[in-house]
């Protein structure tokens, strides 16, 4: 009697294998094969991402248009106005005037946010926090767009839509699911460092005032001679870093699920203005290959002993917006909002974000989002862009093109000072993983530097989510990454999750 069911199972198994072998190759929306869906096309291994990577642009453009009108990421946010004061003259490194004189003050708008969760979600959940600052400089607006943690999950923009899809609710049952999250990240070993930060208590800051901010990416400072210095930004809270434990989260969420906004409003309202100091780490171009990791990899920090920090100024927040929608919700940031003397580095994740953020804002707010008061520059905007939804250019000239022989004064001119900023492109087109991945070393250093209490919280927080994953192979792979970061780290997780060591260590690559 058992023979028929066994035969049916065998047929199903063969059918499944046949289907697996016939898995179609990924294509663009027009049916062309994409090549690699993991790595962007770049000018050499460490070169800039190419505009000719049609699949990357199509993929990100489609991703940017997935939500109407809520932000796809960073949906829940709180904004505040303030002022930045420079600590000195840093013109030997950059032409950016905001850093060009001691005591120079620049107005700004800052938006803090949670990243993955929706516009009305609790502010107490475990999640990176966005930390975006718009400086209204006398050379135009400059946005420093980052997070409260110094690294990120991925190093290539090609993976960004997939990562957010995995972190967002299921498209079938509209529920966030640890099975989906770790199914994706079990194939992304470079996320080990970020997970170690995120699942520590730093992943649940006690309000926006009590967290640091990081630019995450490297940028280029360029001086008047065209000399380049790579920099990373850090905002250090002068209120002190404070975090919630997993137990604290539940209590605070029951009391006030919008605690971070309440705390910020109350502080500014009583004149206790939140303050952060801005510092930069610096590397010369010839120093980029000195390390056992790629300094342009967004999953890595620059250790202080290799690139010491220099304090360059401070930010004070002293006024809340008058209207949430007009100012905070319609505020728009982009790592591509730059001023002369600051350029994006060749960081592959940053290169995609430079396109993605502008594209997102045009879709979310409109073609002329930069004319809204919260986004508008405080200096004259002079170009021939025109029309579109909600345009307020107020152009009165008949010359809306360049060059013009009849009216040369109305055709505008280029600015020669920009020419010194352009670095040459070297290399050939590639679409490969970077050579110095070193995915686990920094996570291990971070773990070993934690107190015993912090280690216990980290293991408990990871266990809480990993224990919900049904596919044990996914759990084994995730734990194998933490084991490769530090043996004690991995062994504690094995014990907490009741895993056999051999099931984990068998996945460790020699």
Instruction: Name the H helices within 24-136.
Output: 54-64
Contact assessment for residue 490 and residue 482, using Cβ atoms and an 8 Å cutoff? yes
The CA distance from 482 to 490, in Å, is 5
The CA distance from 125 to 219, in Å, is 30
- One pLDDT digit (tens) per residue for the chain, 510 residues: 444 444 444 444 444 454 445 677 877 676 677 888 889 989 988 888 988 887 898 888 878 877 657 787 887 899 999 999 999 999 999 999 999 999 999 999 999 999 888 888 888 999 999 999 999 999 999 999 999 999 999 999 999 999 999 999 999 999 999 999 999 999 999 999 999 999 999 999 999 999 999 999 999 999 999 999 999 999 999 999 999 999 898 888 888 889 999 999 999 999 999 999 999 999 999 999 999 999 999 999 999 999 999 999 999 999 999 999 899 989 999 999 999 999 999 999 999 999 999 999 998 988 888 888 999 999 888 777 787 778 787 777 878 777 878 777 665 555 554 444 555 666 778 888 889 999 999 999 999 999 999 999 999 999 999 999 999 999 999 999 999 999 999 999 999 999 999 999 999 875
Sign of CA dihedral 364, 365, 369, 373: negative
So what's the pLDDT on residue 75?
A: 78
The pLDDT tens digits of the residues spanning 326-338 come to 999 899 999 999 9
Backbone angles phi, psi at 328, to 5 degrees: -75, -50
Sequence-distant (6+) residues with CB within 8 A of 222 are 94, 95, 228, 229, 341, 342, 343, 420, 421
So what's the pLDDT on residue 67?
A: 61
* Consecutive H or E run containing 432: none
So what's the pLDDT on residue 415?
A: 59
**Helix or strand or coil: residue 317?**
strand
Q: How would you class 387 by CB atoms within 10 Å of its CB: exposed for 0-12, middle for 13-18, buried for 19 or more?
A: exposed
Q: Is 147 a catalytic residue?
A: yes
The pLDDT tens digits of the residues spanning 437-452 come to 999 999 999 999 999 9
Instruction: Give the count of alpha carbons within 13 A of 167, CB side only.
Output: 20
CATH architecture assigned to 52-153+204-378: Beta Barrel (2.40)
So what's the pLDDT on residue 76?
A: 87
CA 69 vs CA 66, 337, 363, 452: distances in Å:
9, 22, 8, 44
The CA distance from 115 to 126, in Å, is 10
The CA distance from 309 to 280, in Å, is 5
Q: Which of 46, 55, 74, 210 is catalytic?
A: 74
So what's the pLDDT on residue 400?
A: 78
Parallel, antiparallel or unpaired: strands 219-222 and 213-214: unpaired
End-to-end CA, the chain:
49
**Closest to 231 in 3D by CA, of 92, 415, 36:** 92
- The three-point CA angle 247-177-243 to 5° equals 30
Q: Which of 46, 141, 147, 368 is catalytic?
A: 147
Question: DSSP letters along 438-489, please?
Answer: --SHHHHHHHHTS-HHHHHHHHHHHHHHHTT---HHHHHHHHHHHHHH-HHH
pTM: 0.88
Q: Domain locations in the chain?
A: 52-153+204-378, 441-505
So what's the pLDDT on residue 23?
A: 72
């Amino acid at each position: 009697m058992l023979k028929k069911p066994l035969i049916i199972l065998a047929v199903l198994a063969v059918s499944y294998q046949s289907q697996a072998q016939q898995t179609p190759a990924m294509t663009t929306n027009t049916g062309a094969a994409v090549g690699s869906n993991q790595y962007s096309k770049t000018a050499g291994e460490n070169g800039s991402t190419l505009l000719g990577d049609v699949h990357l642009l199509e993929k990100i453009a489609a991703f940017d248009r997935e939500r109407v009108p809520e932000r796809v990421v960073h949906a829940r946010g709180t904004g505040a106005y303030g002022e930045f004061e420079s600590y000195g003259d840093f013109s030997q490194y950059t032409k950016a005037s905001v850093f060009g004189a001691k005591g120079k003050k620049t107005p700004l708008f800052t938006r803090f946010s949670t990243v993955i969760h929706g516009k009305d979600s609790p502010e107490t959940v475990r999640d990176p926090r966005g930390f975006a600052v718009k400086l209204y400089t006398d050379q135009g607006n400059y946005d420093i767009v980052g997070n409260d943690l110094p690294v990120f999950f991925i190093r290539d923009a090609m993976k960004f839509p997939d990562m957010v899809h995995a972190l967002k609710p299921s498209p079938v049952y509209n529920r966030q699911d640890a099975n989906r999250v770790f199914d994706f990240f079990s194939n992304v070993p470079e996320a080990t460092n970020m997970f170690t930060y995120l699942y520590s208590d730093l992943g649940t800051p006690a309000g926006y005032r009590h967290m640091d901010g990081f630019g995450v990416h490297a940028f280029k400072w360029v001086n008047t001679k065209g000399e380049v210095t790579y920099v990373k930004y850090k905002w250090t809270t002068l209120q002190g870093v404070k975090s919630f434990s997993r137990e604290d989260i539940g209590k605070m969420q029951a009391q006030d699920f919008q605690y971070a906004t309440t705390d910020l409003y109350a502080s500014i309202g009583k004149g206790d203005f939140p303050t952060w100091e801005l510092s930069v780490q610096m590397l010369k171009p010839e120093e980029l290959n000195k390390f056992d990791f790629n300094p342009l990899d967004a999953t890595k920090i620059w250790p202080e002993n290799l690139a010491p920090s220099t304090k360059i100024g401070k930010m004070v927040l002293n006024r809340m917006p008058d209207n949430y929608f007009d100012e905070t919700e319609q505020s728009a940031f982009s790592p591509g909002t730059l001023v002369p003397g600051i350029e994006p580095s060749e960081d592959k994740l940053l290169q995609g974000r430079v396109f993605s953020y502008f594209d997102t804002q045009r879709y979310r707010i409109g073609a002329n989002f930069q004319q809204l008061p919260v986004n508008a520059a405080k200096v004259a905007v002079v170009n021939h862009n025109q029309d579109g939804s909600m345009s307020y250019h107020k152009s009165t000239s008949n010359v809306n093109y360049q060059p013009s022989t009849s009216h040369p004064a109305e055709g505008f001119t280029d600015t020669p000072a920009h020419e010194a900023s352009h670095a040459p492109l070297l290399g050939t087109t590639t679409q490969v993983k970077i050579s110095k991945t070193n995915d686990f070393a920094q996570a291990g250093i971070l773990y070993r530097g934690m107190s015993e209490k912090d280690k216990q919280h980290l293991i408990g927080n990871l266990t809480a989510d990993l224990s919900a994953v049904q596919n044990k192979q996914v759990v084994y792979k995730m734990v194998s990454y933490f084991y490769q970061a530090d043996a004690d780290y991995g062994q504690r997780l094995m014990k907490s999750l009741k895993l056999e060591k051999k099931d984990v260590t068998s996945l460790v690559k020699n």
